[in-house]
Amino acid sequence: MIFHFKKKEMLQKNSEQTEKKSWKEKLTSSLSKTRKFLIKDFEAFIYGKRAIDQKIYDELETHLLLSDVGIETSQKIIQEIIETVQRKSLHDTQAFMSVMKEILIHLLKPCEKNLELNQKPFVLLMVGVNGAGKTTSIAKIAHFYQQQDKKILLAAGDTFRAAAVEQLQIWGMRNQVPVIAQHSGADSAAVIYDAMEAATARQTDLLIADTAGRLHTQEHLMNELKKIKRVIQKINLDAPHEIMLVIDASMGQNALTQAKQFHEALGLTGITLTKLDGTAKGGIVFAIADHLKLPIRFIGVGEDIHDLQPFHAEEFVEALLGEKINAKQN
């Protein structure tokens, strides 16, 4: 009996290690387009020089901008590198790359805050623009917590897009996760209200509520989100416990503008960044961290159900810089 238990425990541990390794490999591969703009040519440039000089800082700024880090954040990163290099009296280019890695991790580290389900039911309200991957992210997040034996309920609050309701229902049936839904065109707030009552009655651990995609400039739709928030609070004054914005990384600096507007209107508490695998604009992560200072809960790098995972600053920067640079620093 003890043998079988230990064998099962070992198999589970090996499975977790394999999944973690495959995620790191997938993340490194998915950031290849951003890495090309940020590091590839810059790496060749810097290792062709013997000492740190102004040309290196100018070249780095160019590559940061190409990967959509943004002017303000790029200048902040460079200034911090300059101050560190001067304080430590560094001269060789190898030390420069090590400092850059440390600065990038330091910038992202405050945003490394995993989502903790500290209420029951914990209410997660998902918002974002059309096409950001909001509905698929809901399914992936639900799967993530389902793997932790959490009881999940989904609310199909995107009643304007019939495919969104159907998409959640299909995923729910396949994975035995209940979905509260009404007909297309129904009042989104009413759907989520019903889901809140059901989640409370069923003692659900996590309720994830979908909402219709909208642009940050559509005032009437932004007001609808405020209404949903008020309706939720009729049942639980502390809810929603998380208002999560889903951002398409390929939008670059436009994504930062969207995030600022959503945050101003709703008071965001977290961000999920999707589609990092298909863009060279992954540097937007640094701009979001610098300007918003909100927790980056999850990052997405593909269509598979496992391709959305919690954000870790050091893991992200190491994947972005690539094995070659990390190996030289170790």
Q: Could you tell me the CATH superfamily of domain 32-111+320-329?
A: SRP54, nucleotide-binding domain (1.20.120.140)
- Residue 6 pLDDT: 47
Closest C-alpha to 151, from 194, 106, 204 = 204
Q: Could you tell me the CATH superfamily of domain 122-311?
A: P-loop containing nucleotide triphosphate hydrolases (3.40.50.300)
Condensed to tens digits (0 to 9), the pLDDT of residues 22-63 reads 899 999 999 999 998 888 778 878 877 778 889 999 999 999
Q: Mean per-residue pLDDT for 158-169? A: 89
pTM above 0.95, yes or no: no
Angle made by CA atoms 184, 206, 261, in degrees to the nearest 5: 65
Q: Mean per-residue pLDDT for 72-87? A: 96
Of residues 315 and 218, more confidence is placed in: 315
Contacts of 87 (CB under 8 A, 6+ apart): none
pLDDT(262) > 60: yes
Average per-residue pLDDT for the chain = 89
**β-pair type (206-209, 308-310):** unpaired
Residue extents of the structural domains in the chain: 32-111+320-329, 122-311
User: What's the rounded Cα separation, in Å, for the pair 322 and 37?
Assistant: 12
pLDDT range class, residue 325, cuts 50, 70, 90: low
Closest C-alpha to 121, from 58, 192, 62, 202 = 202
Give the percent of the chain with pLDDT over 70.
90
pLDDT range class, residue 14, cuts 50, 70, 90: very low
- Residue 220 pLDDT: 76
- Residue 326 pLDDT: 58
Q: Is 40 exposed, middle or buried (0-12, 13-18, 19+ CB in 10 A)?
A: middle
pLDDT range class, residue 11, cuts 50, 70, 90: very low
**H helices then E strands: how many in the chain?**
14, 8
Coil, strand or helix: which one is 123?
Answer: strand
Decide whether 32-111+320-329 matches 122-311 in CATH topology. Answer: no
H or E stretch including 243?
strand 242-248
pLDDT range class, residue 214, cuts 50, 70, 90: confident
pLDDT(204) > 70: yes
Q: Mean per-residue pLDDT for 314-322? A: 93
- Residue 21 pLDDT: 58
Condensed to tens digits (0 to 9), the pLDDT of residues 272-307 reads 999 999 899 999 999 999 999 999 999 999 999 999
